[in-house]
Amino acid sequence: MRPLIQAIKGGIGGYLIGALVTWAIQGSGSMSDPVPVTFGVIFGLIGWLMGIGVWNVWAREWFGLPPKHQVASDWRRYFQFSTDHKVIGVQYLVTFITVLLVGGLMAMVIRLELAGAGEGFIAEDTYNKVMSMHGILMVAVAVAGILGSFGNYLVPLMIGARDMAFPRINALSFWLIPPVAVTLLSAPLIGSFEAGWTAYPPLSVIAPGDGQLLFNLGVIAFGLSSILGGLNILTTVATMRAPGMSWGRLPIFVWAAFAASLISVLFTQFFAASLVLIHLDRIAGTTFFGAAAGGDALLFEHLFWFYSHPAVYIMVLPAFGVALEVITHFSRKPLFAYKAVVGAFLTIVGLSAIVWAHHMFTSGMASYLHAPFMALTEAISIPTGVVFLAAIGTMWRGRIWFATPLLLAAGWVFNFMIGGLTGLFHADVATDIQLHDTYFVVAHFHFTIIGGSIFGLLAGTFYWFPKITGRMYHERLGKVFAVWVTLGLNLTFLPMFWVGVNGMNRRIAVYPEELEAVNRFISFAALFLACGFLLFVGNLLWSARRGEKAPDNPWNASTLEWMLPSPPPEHNFPLLPEIVGHPYGYGLPESRHAELAAAGGE
Amino acid sequence: MRRDGLIVVAIWAVLTAIGEFAVVTWSMLPEGYAREADVVNEAYLLLLILAVPVFTFMLSMLGYSAVRFRSAGQPHDDGPPIHGSPKVVAAWLAITGGLTLGVVINPGFVGLADIRGSSSADMVVEVEGQRWIWKATYENGGLAEDELVVPIDTRIRFDVTSADVVHSFWIPAFGMKIDAVPGRTTEMFVTTERVGSFAEDGNLRAQCAELCGLSHSQMAMPVRVVERAEFEVWLENLPRDETGTEEGA
């Protein structure tokens, strides 16, 4: 635990140094002015990173000192600057499941307020803060939940590598997350954090108090983590594949992680840059978005969505990979149309760059942009359709084993289909003008993000749980959970389409009384959905300690990670494996994906 | 295997028939008070009608596979080594591509042209959003802050702007919204075609639809559509906006 204590000391120390020095230079005002707070957070972040291990494991080398590596091999390694990709994967998984639960609690507060039409349970400003916080936390879970956890844990295992390409950058990208969480969570506490996760100016510029500053800094740091993580996955896949692992033999999850990482690396900086501009408008008196001085609020919306629409594919692509992986192994058939799916992933990456303005049909942007952005957005349904074809084509005539991972993957198909089809109503200009910013869009993106991304996270958690922990989860509880969340999701979000169509806009604490009955039903359904997660957490916690010992390959699956012991040894492969065939050789008894070389001398 | 295919097609046909019947007869759509709301509803219904067969196809495939190809417990053998066929992929791309093209054209381009309509208007109302109220100024200088009243069968252009942050001027019953952006004037055209008031239909309100801070929820102004004569009387009695400029935010 020592690094953690040092990190906390470093964080607090860094904050005080940054804030005090800027305050002294500033010469007037107080420590809680925007500029000292900004530099406090930046130096606090550096102090935290140095304390957790960047100094010992890494930075000492820059000054010619021998690095001090940490060596814990027990549970304490999860609280250290470990460079083992499997440790980092678990760190991400536990962290983001925790954030998911915290974000879920906030959703419960939102639903409690919306159980009644009038002002009730919480004040409007509290509502805005909770709603904004729920948004950014869940966006973070969706962006990094799968990519950080399974991307880190499994990409090296699946391609036959001993670690990621940049293990220390990998540790750095994880250890950025805890201070980001602290920064974001303290934003509403120090006041005025009400612009939502979308942070549109001028609201985000003129809101008094420092909450918005912390939001900006936290999200920028999170973006850095996301870029570094993406870079690492790209480099790892490009350069560290085992002999024989051609691009055409990569398991589909690896392709999905690769495609999503491309988007992280290409687009995240636009969100960061737009928040830097807001930050400067707030602390340095610039007027990028101040209309009175020649700025333009629409500029922000363009920059913001230029990242935030591609970000949707950072969220869902890895889940596509998990779902197809699970469907393939649990149907015991090769993935249907593998090459077309890879093509679809890359097409989605390309198209994601040129559809952002469909979020802005009612923004007042030039109207000649409507038609092309509508057409391009609708074109995304073609590659997405290929992913669905692969899912049903693989199941067709398979030997489908309805274990928990497959139930959740099938749930993914169903829910994401609803999300995808209702997306049409937002791509279409005529319907979007009416439905934009209503509960219809709330329902739509919850089907895509929960159905499309979180279901992938859940399916993957059960699928790889035996590999990661060395123990089996409780199957019956798992199945109950899978049915429970699918039911809960649909009961909660299907009625939201109706209230949206019938005139309820989003991000409001007070709404027309005639919509109260349906909203109350939604609130109960949301509570039901949330309770389901007790089963999830209970199952995992209990099984990690008491579950049956897992064999190396409980699913009799064909990819490389299942050829290793559960959990895999520290450097994965004693000798690099040789890849000799397609990853999904089901139906051909003589087909082999890889040969593991025995450890030397045996 | 041909039998499996035929059964799925049969299930698909039945589900699609049920789905289309449900969609067409059991519409969830609220009544519109403007021509634009009718365009929205038409496009909405068309998209639903097109989405139903896609949804039911996936559902039939998923459901039938789950029943027919289900293995009791861990399977001991594998399914056939089918890696996919280029023909199936090509057919799938042709069908989804065709459907997409269809949707892009109608309701896409058709609906877009339809909802925009002509760029001429019978009257202009200037709307300004300011946290957390709307102010509507009519051509005679009348200023409405408590209720927005418009005549029936009239093409109205709303010139919308904001005094502080981004708002969105949304009248659900008209099927239209446009953001109110500081420093810009955005336009929204509405052609009224039915009489009604907020008291009768909650969707006759000008609701702010873009998060604008503390009382965003309550930034709404009742809307009333009245006969021409009634409107003229109302407009005459409207207090004039004589201040010219507003106090700073």
- From A4's Cα to the closest Cα of chain B, the distance in A is 38
Nearest to A400 among B37, B66, B103 (CB): B66
Which candidate in A298, A433, A501 is best for mutational testing of the B interface (most B CBs within 10 A)?
Answer: A433
State pLDDT tens for residues A562-582.
999 999 998 999 999 999 999
- Provide the pLDDT for residue B246: 46
Q: Which residues of A fall within a CB distance of 8 Å from B84?
A: 334-338, 340, 390, 393
Find the closest chain A residue to B62 by CA distance: A392
The answer to whether the CB of B240 falls within 8 A of the CB of B153 is no
B121-142 b/e (C-beta count within 10 Å ≥ 16 → b): beeebbbbbbbbbbbbbbeeeb
Specify if A139 maps to a domain: yes
Nearest to A587 among B58, B81, B89 (CB): B81
* Cα angle: A441, vertex A445, A451; to 5 degrees: 145
The structure tokens 């051909």 sit at: A588
In this structure, are A288 and A358 located in the same domain?
Answer: yes
- Provide the pLDDT for residue B247: 42
pLDDT score of A191 more than 80? no
- Provide the pLDDT for residue A73: 82
State pLDDT tens for residues A21-65.
999 998 888 888 899 999 999 999 999 999 999 999 999 999 999
In this structure, are A181 and A259 located in the same domain?
Answer: yes
Q: Using 50, 70 and 90 to split pLDDT, how confident is the model at A194?
A: confident
Which candidate in B58, B109, B118, B221 is best for mutational testing of the A interface (most A CBs within 10 A)?
Answer: B58
- Provide the pLDDT for residue A71: 73
In this structure, are A175 and A285 located in the same domain?
Answer: yes
In this structure, are A89 and A30 located in the same domain?
Answer: no
Domain count, chain A: 2
In the listed set A30, A52, A81, which residue is the last one of a domain according to the structure?
A81
- Provide the pLDDT for residue A601: 40
Average pLDDT rounded to a whole number, residues B213-235 = 96
Classify domain B123-236 by CATH architecture: Sandwich (2.60)
Specify if A90 maps to a domain: yes
- Residue A371 to residue A377: CA distance in whole angstroms: 10
Percent of chain B with pLDDT over 90: 92
Name which of A238, A285, A295 is nearest A261 in CA terms. Answer: A238
* Cα angle: B50, vertex B56, B60; to 5 degrees: 155
- From A450's Cα to the closest Cα of chain B, the distance in A is 19
Name which of A439, A516, A512 is nearest B200 in CA terms. Answer: A512
Query: What is chain A's alpha carbon radius of gyration, rounded to the nearest angstrom?
Result: 24
Give the dihedral of Cα atoms A357, A362, A363, A369; nearest 10 deg: 40
Cβ distance of A374 and B108 shorter than 8 Å = yes
Q: Where are the alpha helices (DSSP H) in A176-296?
A: 177-186, 203-206, 211-239, 252-283
- Provide the pLDDT for residue A598: 63
Nearest to B170 among A337, A413, A505 (CB): A505
In this structure, are A42 and A88 located in the same domain?
Answer: no
- Residue B79 to residue A205: CA distance in whole angstroms: 59
Say if A209 is an interface residue toward chain B (CB within 8 Å).
no
Q: Which residues of B fall within a CB distance of 8 Å from A200?
A: 165-166, 210-211
- Residue B158 to residue B137: CA distance in whole angstroms: 10
User: What CATH number is attached to the domain comprising A163?
Assistant: 1.20.210.10
Q: Which residues of B fall within a CB distance of 8 Å from A425?
A: 44, 47
Find the closest chain A residue to B215 by CA distance: A124
Name which of A514, A487, A343 is nearest A407 in CA terms. Answer: A487
In this structure, are A40 and A109 located in the same domain?
Answer: no
Query: Given phi > 0 = left and psi -120 to 50 = alpha, else beta, which region is A192?
Result: left
Query: What is chain B's alpha carbon radius of gyration, rounded to the nearest angstrom?
Result: 26
Give the mean pLDDT of chain A. 95
- A400 — phi, psi (to 5°)? -85, 120
The amino acid occupying position A250 is L
State pLDDT tens for residues B138-159.
999 999 999 999 999 999 999 9
Which tokens go with A241? Answer: 């594949």
In this structure, are A272 and A311 located in the same domain?
Answer: yes
- Provide the pLDDT for residue B240: 85
- Provide the pLDDT for residue A56: 93
In this structure, are A272 and A346 located in the same domain?
Answer: yes
In this structure, are A448 and A393 located in the same domain?
Answer: yes
pLDDT score of A192 more than 80? no
State pLDDT tens for residues A84-116.
999 999 999 999 999 999 999 999 999 999 999
State pLDDT tens for residues B160-209.
999 999 999 999 999 999 999 999 999 999 999 999 999 999 999 999 99
In the listed set A54, A81, A108, which residue is the last one of a domain according to the structure?
A81
In the listed set A17, A51, A81, which residue is the last one of a domain according to the structure?
A81
Q: Which domain holds residue A30?
A: 1-67+76-81
In this structure, are A116 and A249 located in the same domain?
Answer: yes
Name which of A423, A321, A435 is nearest A378 in CA terms. Answer: A423
DSSP B30: P
Q: What is the pTM of this model?
A: 0.96
Local structure of A429: helix, strand or coil: helix
Q: How many of the other CB atoms lie within 10 Å of CB of A390?
A: 26
Specify if A600 maps to a domain: no
Which candidate in A332, A422, A434, A502 is best for mutational testing of the B interface (most B CBs within 10 A)?
Answer: A434
- Provide the pLDDT for residue B104: 97
User: Angle between the A34-49 and A211-239 helix axes, to the nearest 10 degrees?
Assistant: 30
**Range with the poorest average pLDDT among A230-234, B6-10, B21-25, B27-31:** B27-31
Specify if A601 maps to a domain: no
Q: Using 50, 70 and 90 to split pLDDT, how confident is the model at B242?
A: low
In this structure, are A99 and A58 located in the same domain?
Answer: no
DSSP B210: S
- For strands B220-226 and B148-151, give the pairing: parallel
- Residue A166 to residue A277: CA distance in whole angstroms: 31
- Residue B246 to residue B232: CA distance in whole angstroms: 26
| DSSP-derived secondary structure for B125-186 | EEEEEETTEEEEE-TTSBEESS-EEEESS-EEEEEEEESSS-EEEEEGGGTEEEEE-BT--E
- Provide the pLDDT for residue A72: 82
Nearest to A363 among B30, B84, B179 (CB): B179
Specify if A433 maps to a domain: yes
- Provide the pLDDT for residue A410: 97
What are the domain boundaries of chain B?
Answer: 2-67+98-116, 123-236
- Provide the pLDDT for residue B243: 60
Average pLDDT rounded to a whole number, residues A6-19 = 96
- Residue A589 to residue A488: CA distance in whole angstroms: 41
Nearest to B112 among A370, A379, A514 (CB): A370
- From B98's Cα to the closest Cα of chain A, the distance in A is 10
- Provide the pLDDT for residue A121: 83
Any residues with CB less than 8 A from the CB of A175 and at least 6 apart, and which?
A7, A48, A49, A52, A53, A54, A81
In this structure, are A201 and A114 located in the same domain?
Answer: yes
pLDDT score of B93 more than 90? yes
- Provide the pLDDT for residue A602: 39
Percent of chain B with pLDDT over 70: 96
Give the mean pLDDT of chain B. 94
